[in-house]
Amino acid sequence: MSAHYHYVEDDQGDLVELVTFCGDWCHRCWCDENDAIYGGWNGCHELEFQDSCAQCGRVIPGVELDVDQDQHVRCDRCGIGVDAVDGWTDGTLVFCGGLYGNGCDARHLASLVVAL
Statement to judge: residues 4 and 30 lie in one domain = yes
CA nearest to 90, candidates 100, 78, 104: 104
Residues 52 and 83 in one domain: no
Residues 104 and 50 in one domain: no
My answer on whether 87 and 115 are in the same domain is yes
Could you read off the pLDDT of 35-70 as tens digits, one per residue? 999 999 998 898 888 888 899 887 787 777 554 555
Q: Which domain holds residue 115?
A: 72-116
Asked if 100 and 75 count as a contact pair (C-beta separation under 8 A), the reply is: no
47-50-54-58 Cα dihedral, nearest 10 degrees: 120
The model's confidence at residue 108, banded by pLDDT at 50, 70 and 90, is: low
- Dihedral of the alpha carbons of 85, 74, 59, 88, in degrees to the nearest 10: -10
Q: What is the pTM of this model?
A: 0.60
